[in-house]
Chain A
Amino acid sequence: MNLTLRIWRQTGPEDKGRMVTYQVDDVSPDMSFLEMLDVLNERLILSGEEPVAFDHDCREGICGMCGLMINGNAHGPQRGTTACQLHMRQFKDGDTIDIEPWRARAFPVIKDLVVDRNSFDQIIAAGGYITVPTGSAPEAHSVPVAKANADAAFESAACIGCGACVAACPNGSGMLFTAAKVTQLSLLPQGQPERYTRVIGMVDAHDEAGFGGCTNAGECTVVCPKGIPLSTIGRLNRDYLAASAKRGDTPGT
């Protein structure tokens, strides 16, 4: 099939950037979306143009490195699928496809479609862990965990940190990402001692990084390739309220 691509090109953080139109012919429906971009890039290189920079690594939907806004959809039209797992059979001959980077103040563009998601790491560094220095752990079976809680914790832990939730959010909020980690750790007995300091630290880091506030619009969970549920945000809110109430009298909060 033959496609028209309109791709955001931006030479660096200081450049204003613009949409540029490219024609790509003979695209096979068996190609992945990123392989289609590879084909375009090979051609651009040979014709002396700069190839389109985009982030990708595992190309099997788990590392979370890829992330493209495809026709206004984070990761493209197929639900539960990262851009690297999206295949061209989802498109038709003659389609025009708009490709843009994630747009958020907390995710500044580095070049073309590549953005800096370091703010997510900062949210984790502010409390998204359980403090357990290596070697100090008790025997694994000393604390049983109800299967339902372990399964629910896993569901939240499946977050790949791609940033699609932020990209899709009308408020540019990173609350689904933050809530996924808060939920995972607050469901487990191991996470209880730091439960309230964690949620305060992470939400503060989230706000400081320049993400918008959550208004429960629900766009995030629709585009999430791992289907992180919106109920995680409810859990974060409850922990946050409880933690705020304790802020005065809990050491460390």
Chain B
Amino acid sequence: MELFTEGDPIADTKAPDGPIETRWERRRFEAKLVNPANRRKMTVIVVGTGLAGGAAAATLGEQGYHVKSYCYQDSPRRAHSIAAQGGINAAKNYRNDGDSVHRLFYDTVKGGDFRSRESNVHRLAEVSVNIIDQCVAQGVPFAREYGGLLDTRSFGGAQVQRTFYARGQTGQQLLLGAYQALERQIGLGNVEMNARHEMLELILVDGRARGIVVRDMVTGEITTEMADAVVLASGGYGNVFYLSTNAKGCNVTATWRAHRKGAYFANPCYTQIHPTCIPVSGDHQSKLTLMSESLRNDGRVWVPKTKGDDRSPKDIPEAERDYYLERIYPSFGNLVPRDIASRAAKNVCDEGRGVGPTKLGVYLDFADAISRLGRKAVEAKYGNLFEMYERITGEDPYEVPMRIYPAVHYTMGGLWVDYDLQSTVPGLFVIGEANFSDHGANRLGASALMQGLADGYFVLPSTIANYLAAGPLEKVDGSHPAAVEARADVEDRIQRLLAIDGDRTVDSFHRELGQIMWEHCGMERTEAGLRKAIDEIRSLRDQFWQRVKVPGTGEGLNQSLEKAGRVADFFELAELMCIDALHREESCGGHFRGEHQTPDGEAQRDDDRFAYVAAWEFTATGQPSVLHKEDLKFEYVHPTQRSYK
């Protein structure tokens, strides 16, 4: 059987034309508005309370819509945006170092390896300046200079200092700002908050998104929630790899359920892998912890020259060490971009030269920095990171080199959306990491926070009005046949999961799925590997539906049941990711195909054949998906090859 079929091309019908600087303003002007008196009669559902969802729910509440917000955590403040460390980009040019909206636009398109839409990225760069104003006014305690003005730093290889930050907790502070705005709306009664609720299905009425089916995770009650429009802000799907830097609860269920109901899934194979994470310590490992990328400024990366060298790092003489990044990339050395550093680490470990108990790790050595700068200076710069490393590993990085290894960190793919952030299902909007986003095939550091807040505060609240203004839609409630059916499907699926009563836990399946994905659809992908992975995923999925053991009942809190539903969806997504990776016979950004590299091992794009967004349409379980291509045009930034030698 074919893995997929190809359908008609798809186009972004909302994208305005004309000079790129004027497109967003034109779109906002042309978009229809909703009379404030009518907004109160309209309900919008927002799923997820991270930077995108929290900001959107708060803003829509302020505008007077009736908003229903959902999150699986116990409070909207816990969404995983909170864990972002580095900072947020904005084209403020406070440093007078040549930054501008156009330069941020340019850097982001290039950083995305020319696989994103110019119009969207330009809008992102324009809105970035408003985000900083908004957050400062909310009381977000950004780092400041002695003069009382905002401090910025450079990040992710950009040549300008445009990253605003709040120590290593920028995501936390921005999220709390959005959360507080959201809580204010909750207090005023404009937003109805439903924490510990999980969306399990999308409800379509006459082809439009009109509601969702949710499970109250405390009581187990399943209800249908109806609305005039549905916004998904449910984050990325990095947990398909089981081990990632995502929170344990991050999942693909909300977007996958929408995909099954007709929303196209775009570029699922684009995955960002972060080079500096603490390595896996054993089979018990449940998640991976990121160590700030800034460590590579002073640490030197190395492995032993010979395979299987089990000596302690102190006993390996200088001549028998391979500082491989400095050797292969003499001009950038330890500071090569994320994807390159990650792949190089994988290569040396594949050669059998990895270090640590699992042999999946490389040294990040500060001995030179300590002897050059002194222990005190190193402590001042990295003290808190060293402490965190010691807490987790029990090793003192002042004495023993750190061990690091790449880990899945962010997913650029997601549901396909047009310029209005509307999916292929009318009335279904997708924002933040959940959409296929403005990052193309690779996201630059400090751009995720920017995109989440841009979508939530500024873009969606403008564009959703255009959709709602076409109403009012016919009133529907939970007794509508479509709602009743969707709810019955959810209940049926829960009963099926509970009834299997097999001999393996959900986690054991998830871990095995993650290993398959990491092995074959991780840092380097090959045709043979991907084909093998697809077979393995299918057979493991069959096993799952025969052998999984979910204890307890559907009533009340049942964490095993929650996980089982999510893993079931990860199985389906994993297959699509592999198919997407297999069909994209080029290397670009976070997608590296072993067959497509330059003679010196760098990613080789094929702009003639693959300068498009791959939007996948779901047909039926087990049936091939349909590929729709959206061609990408580059009028302002011309594709070039990256080189870091």
Chain A positions 112 through 150: 1 when the CB is less than 8 Å from some CB of chain B, otherwise 0: 001011101100111011111111111111011111001
Q: How far is the CA of A240 from the CA of B166 in the complex (A)?
A: 28
A-B contact pairs, 22 of them (CB 8 A): A28-B284, A29-B394, A30-B281, A31-B282, A34-B286, A35-B284, A38-B286, A58-B83, A58-B247, A62-B83, A62-B172, A63-B80, A63-B247, A87-B392, A126-B187, A129-B184, A132-B181, A137-B138, A141-B150, A144-B149, A153-B139, A154-B143
Whether B73 contacts A65 by the Cβ 8 Å rule is yes
Closest residue of chain A to B508, judged by CB?
A42
Q: Does B622 touch A at the CB level, under 8 Å?
A: no
Whether A87 contacts B557 by the Cβ 8 Å rule is no
Q: Does A184 touch B at the CB level, under 8 Å?
A: yes
Chain B positions 153 through 185: 1 when the CB is less than 8 Å from some CB of chain A, otherwise 0: 000000000000011010011001001110110
Q: How far is the CA of A136 from the CA of B167 in the complex (A)?
A: 26
Whether B141 contacts A150 by the Cβ 8 Å rule is yes
Instruction: Say yes or no: A140-B133 contact (C-beta < 8 A), given A111-B557, A124-B183, A184-B139.
Output: yes
Whether A46 contacts B549 by the Cβ 8 Å rule is yes
Q: Which of A44, A59, A134, A157 contacts B176 (CB 8 A)?
A: A157
Which among B54-62, B422-430, B477-485 touches the partner chain?
A: B54-62
Most chain A beta-carbon neighbours within 10 Å: one of B130, B142, B180, B552: B180
Most chain A beta-carbon neighbours within 10 Å: one of B74, B193, B289, B392: B74
Q: Which of B136, B137, B187, B248 contacts A59 (CB 8 A)?
A: B248
Whether A63 contacts B507 by the Cβ 8 Å rule is no
Q: Which residues of B contact A34 (CB under 8 A)?
A: 286
Whether B137 contacts A153 by the Cβ 8 Å rule is no
Q: Does B41 touch A at the CB level, under 8 Å?
A: no
Whether A128 contacts B183 by the Cβ 8 Å rule is yes
Chain A positions 81 through 124: 1 when the CB is less than 8 Å from some CB of chain B, otherwise 0: 10001010100000000000000000000110010111011001
Question: When A and B form their complex, what is the total count of cross-chain residue pairs whose Cβ atoms lie within 8 Å?
Answer: 223
CB distance from A188 to the nearest CB of B (A): 5
Whether B551 contacts A50 by the Cβ 8 Å rule is yes
Whether A121 contacts B141 by the Cβ 8 Å rule is no
CB distance from B18 to the nearest CB of A (A): 24
Whether B139 contacts A190 by the Cβ 8 Å rule is yes
Whether A45 contacts B549 by the Cβ 8 Å rule is yes
Task: Count residues of chain B with CB under 8 A from any CB of chain A.
Answer: 81
Whether B394 contacts A89 by the Cβ 8 Å rule is yes
CB distance from A244 to the nearest CB of B (A): 21
Whether B144 contacts A57 by the Cβ 8 Å rule is no
Question: Secondary structure at chain A's binding surface: helix, strand, loop or mixed?
Answer: loop
Q: How far is the CA of A133 from the CA of B281 in the complex (A)?
A: 46
Q: How far is the CA of A13 from the CA of B247 in the complex (A)?
A: 27
Whether B83 contacts A117 by the Cβ 8 Å rule is no
Q: How far is the CA of A188 from the CA of B180 in the complex (A)?
A: 15
Q: Does A172 touch B at the CB level, under 8 Å?
A: no
Which 5 pairs of residues, A with B, have the shortest CB-CB distance? Answer: A144-B148, A125-B187, A137-B137, A129-B180, A154-B141
Task: Count residues of chain A with CB under 8 A from any CB of chain B.
Answer: 80
Whether B166 contacts A57 by the Cβ 8 Å rule is no
Whether B557 contacts A154 by the Cβ 8 Å rule is no
Taking Cβ atoms with an 8 Å cutoff, the residues of B that contact A are: 55, 58-59, 62, 73-78, 80, 82-83, 92, 94, 130, 132-134, 136-150, 166-167, 169, 172-173, 176, 179-181, 183-184, 186-187, 193, 195, 218, 245, 247-249, 281-282, 284-287, 289-290, 388, 391-394, 457-458, 461, 503, 505, 507-508, 549, 551-552, 556-557, 559-560
CB distance from B383 to the nearest CB of A (A): 13
Q: How far is the CA of A141 from the CA of B78 in the complex (A)?
A: 29
Chain A positions 19 through 60: 1 when the CB is less than 8 Å from some CB of chain B, otherwise 0: 000000000111110111011001011101111010111111
Q: Does A161 touch B at the CB level, under 8 Å?
A: yes
Whether A129 contacts B248 by the Cβ 8 Å rule is no
Q: Does A191 touch B at the CB level, under 8 Å?
A: yes
CB distance from A87 to the nearest CB of B (A): 7
Whether A161 contacts B75 by the Cβ 8 Å rule is yes
Please give 20 more A-B residue pairs, beta carbons under 8 A apart, in addition to A42-B505, A60-B245, A85-B391.
Answer: A32-B392, A34-B286, A38-B286, A42-B507, A56-B248, A57-B78, A60-B287, A63-B80, A63-B82, A65-B78, A85-B388, A126-B187, A130-B139, A140-B132, A154-B143, A157-B140, A157-B166, A158-B169, A161-B78, A190-B136
Whether B282 contacts A63 by the Cβ 8 Å rule is no
Q: Which of B75, B172, B245, B285 contacts A118 (CB 8 A)?
A: B75
Whether A125 contacts B286 by the Cβ 8 Å rule is no
Q: Does A78 touch B at the CB level, under 8 Å?
A: yes
Whether B285 contacts A35 by the Cβ 8 Å rule is yes
Q: Does A72 touch B at the CB level, under 8 Å?
A: no
CB distance from B548 to the nearest CB of A (A): 10
Whether A58 contacts B137 by the Cβ 8 Å rule is no
Q: Which residues of A contact B136 (CB under 8 A)?
A: 137, 140, 143, 190
Closest residue of chain B to A190, judged by CB?
B139
Q: Which of A58, A129, A145 contacts B148 (CB 8 A)?
A: A145
